[in-house]
Amino acid sequence: MQGTRERILEAAERLFAERGLEATSLRAITAMARVNLAAVHYHFGSKDGLIEAIFARRVEPLNRERLDRLTTLEARAVPPGLEEIVEAFVGPALRLVRRPDRGGAFCMRLLGRTIAVPVEALHARIAPLFDEVRARYARALRRLLPHVGGTELAWRIHFMVGAMLFTMSKQPEVAQRVMNDGLRSGVHGGRRPPRNEEAAVRRLVRFVAGGLRGPTPRRMRSR
Amino acid sequence: MQGTRERILEAAERLFAERGLEATSLRAITAMARVNLAAVHYHFGSKDGLIEAIFARRVEPLNRERLDRLTTLEARAVPPGLEEIVEAFVGPALRLVRRPDRGGAFCMRLLGRTIAVPVEALHARIAPLFDEVRARYARALRRLLPHVGGTELAWRIHFMVGAMLFTMSKQPEVAQRVMNDGLRSGVHGGRRPPRNEEAAVRRLVRFVAGGLRGPTPRRMRSR
DNA sequence: GTCTATATCCTGATAGAC
DNA sequence: GTCTATCAGGATATAGAC
């Protein structure tokens, strides 16, 4: 059995993901964690402290994976392709759903909804967590798409993030399908059920690569 | 001076957009509207009734414009281009920012954040409002992209919506820039300040068209 | 239709015993 | 570290006078 601190973190992550930060009370969290109400304040000081602790422990490994993969791609003899870079960015985020050690579907959904629609006060403290990743990927994409201007590229990255976050925050439906597949595992002859999130990653990578590669304004066709 | 009902609707729309539905109290709304607290329950029955009333009056004209524009495109002698259809879908949404008669930036942001991250109970009642639009645009896109399979197209539409909603929910920063341009209107010689949202629409249309048009899995290059 | 006053409940937070 | 008990305030909602 886990410690009190861990149980609070996990129950909170789950409820925050499902109902949102504001709509989730500490009482609901401590009830699910089977823990005393006062324990939250003992371990985290306040509700905001709890929220920050949740993000701190999830964002770091996610970003580390993104940065490591980009470093590997850039150190390779063959220069990386656009799809590879996009995959290194969105893949680790969308694959959170099958990483229970990193919070699984709940973590993914929480990240998706919180970052897509940041609470004013929280935004200032979680946005900087992504600064390094954003900067390094922007540089890598710029090198690959020299014909796309700086402002235009910033917008295209913005659109990519939007498509990714929307998919992350909607993932409960997808996760549900994955779980159903798991239940029907006999049908697949005992082998692993199909990985729906892998198809989602491939599709998102394809879409985003198409959007990033698109024509530059000046060279655009009339329609 | 507006009626009590209108003042409540407008204050609520504004606060909901800025802070979110759960985080906004009826007290904050009635204080901003300079209206009595009980007036909300008299006119709308409950907080949920108020929320529904807000969406009902904003979504209908938005969807009407989208449908009308698609009808016009399809009735034309020249068949519509992909960019035209995408523009007819995302344009009216992103241009809400300069339609104060439809709620302006607040309405746009509220739609963006609420639809991107739906509250469980509300979702069942607002999602159907978009069914007709989604179905008709899906059909139009399918005709234009016959090589893209049904499932793949559904995902690409999903990504398009994600990129659009993210842009809508983030628009306060963009709106801020527009307002700043307005203040510096002397620089533009008294003419209208540049329309940032038009640039955003063009960029989003370009990005989405590139993503929708992307290669189909089977024909994909190895990297 | 609008207001005051209030009912009822839930929220985050804390004091202090064990 | 964990618990009970409680505080002070804010939430939605309603009753009833005007």
Answer whether any strand C atom is within 7 A of the Cβ of A39.
Answer: no
User: Which of B21, B145, B176, B207 to probe by mutation at the A interface, max A CB count within 10 Å?
Assistant: B207
Write down the pLDDT at residue A117: 85
Decide if pLDDT at A118 tops 80: no
B216 dihedral zone (left: phi>0; alpha: psi -120 to 50; beta): beta
Q: Which residue is closest, via its CA, to the C1' of D3?
A: A36
**Which chain A residues are closer than 8 Å to B78 by Cβ?**
none
How does DSSP assign chain B, residue by residue? ---HHHHHHHHHHHHHHHH-STT--HHHHHHHHT--HHHHHHHHSSHHHHHHHHHHHHHHHHHHHHHHHHHHHHHSSSPPPHHHHHHHHHHHHHGGGG-GGGTHHHHHHHHHHHHHS--HHHHHHHGGGGHHHHHHHHHHHHHH-TTS-HHHHHHHHHHHHHHHHHHHHTHHHHHHHHHHHHHTGGGGTTSPPP-HHHHHHHHHHHHHHHHHHSPPGGG----
Tell me how far CA of residue B163 lies from CA of A105, A148, A158, B158, in angstroms.
21, 19, 8, 9
CATH no. of B1-45: 1.10.10.60
- Window A:29-68, CB contacts with B under 8 Å: none
Cβ distance of B159 and A209 shorter than 8 Å? no
pLDDT tens column, B91-109? 999 999 999 999 999 999 9
Q: How confident is the model at residue A32 (pLDDT cuts 50, 70, 90)?
A: very high
Instruction: Find, in chain B, the residue whose alpha carbon is nearest to that of A81.
Output: B223
Closest CA to A114 of A60, A51, A62, A174: A51
Answer whether any strand C atom is within 7 A of the Cβ of B35.
Answer: yes
Mean pLDDT of A141-149: 96
Write down the pLDDT at residue A1: 63
* Exposed/middle/buried for residue A177 (C-beta within 10 Å: 0-12, 13-18, 19+): middle
Answer whether any strand C atom is within 7 A of the Cβ of B31.
Answer: no
Write down the pLDDT at residue A170: 87
Gap from B25 CA to D11 C1', in Å? Answer: 7
Superfamily assignment of A56-215 in CATH?
Answer: Tetracycline Repressor, domain 2 (1.10.357.10)
**Which chain B residues are closer than 8 Å to A117 by Cβ?**
20, 112-113, 116-117, 169
Write down the pLDDT at residue A220: 45
Beta carbons of A16 and A54 less than 8 angstroms apart: yes
* Cα dihedral A153/A159/A162/A168 (nearest 10): -90
Q: How confident is the model at residue B197 (pLDDT cuts 50, 70, 90)?
A: confident
Write down the pLDDT at residue A196: 80
Decide if pLDDT at B170 tops 80: yes
Lowest mean pLDDT across A84-93, A132-141, B168-177, B202-211:
B168-177
Beta carbons of B104 and B98 less than 8 angstroms apart: yes
Instruction: Find, in chain B, the residue whose alpha carbon is nearest to that of A109.
Output: B117
Decide if pLDDT at B62 tops 90: yes
- Residue with more model confidence, B176 or B134: B134
Write down the pLDDT at residue B172: 54
Q: How confident is the model at residue A191 (pLDDT cuts 50, 70, 90)?
A: low
What is the distance between the alpha carbons of residues B166 and B200, in angstroms, rounded to a whole number? Answer: 12
pLDDT tens column, A34-45? 999 999 999 999
pLDDT tens column, A156-186? 999 999 999 999 998 656 544 444 444 444 4
Mean pLDDT of A106-111: 96
Write down the pLDDT at residue B202: 97
* Domain boundaries of chain B, sorted by first residue: 1-45, 57-217
Assign domain B57-217 to its CATH architecture: Orthogonal Bundle (1.10)
Percent of chain A with pLDDT over 70: 85
Beta-carbon contacts of A146 under 8 Å, excluding residues fewer than 6 positions away, are: none
Q: Which nucleotides of D are covered by protein (CB under 7 A)?
A: 1-6, 10-16
Q: How confident is the model at residue B118 (pLDDT cuts 50, 70, 90)?
A: confident
Mean pLDDT of A141-153: 95
Q: How confident is the model at residue A22 (pLDDT cuts 50, 70, 90)?
A: very high
**Which chain A residues are closer than 8 Å to B22 by Cβ?**
20, 22-23
The average confidence (pLDDT) of chain B is 89
**Biggest alpha carbon–alpha carbon distance for chain B:** 65
* Cα dihedral A155/A160/A165/A167 (nearest 10): 140
Q: How many CB atoms lie within 10 A of CB B208?
A: 29
**Residue A100 sits at the chain B interface (C-beta within 8 Å):** no
Mean pLDDT of A190-209: 83
**Residue B206 sits at the chain A interface (C-beta within 8 Å):** yes
Beta carbons of B137 and B154 less than 8 angstroms apart: no
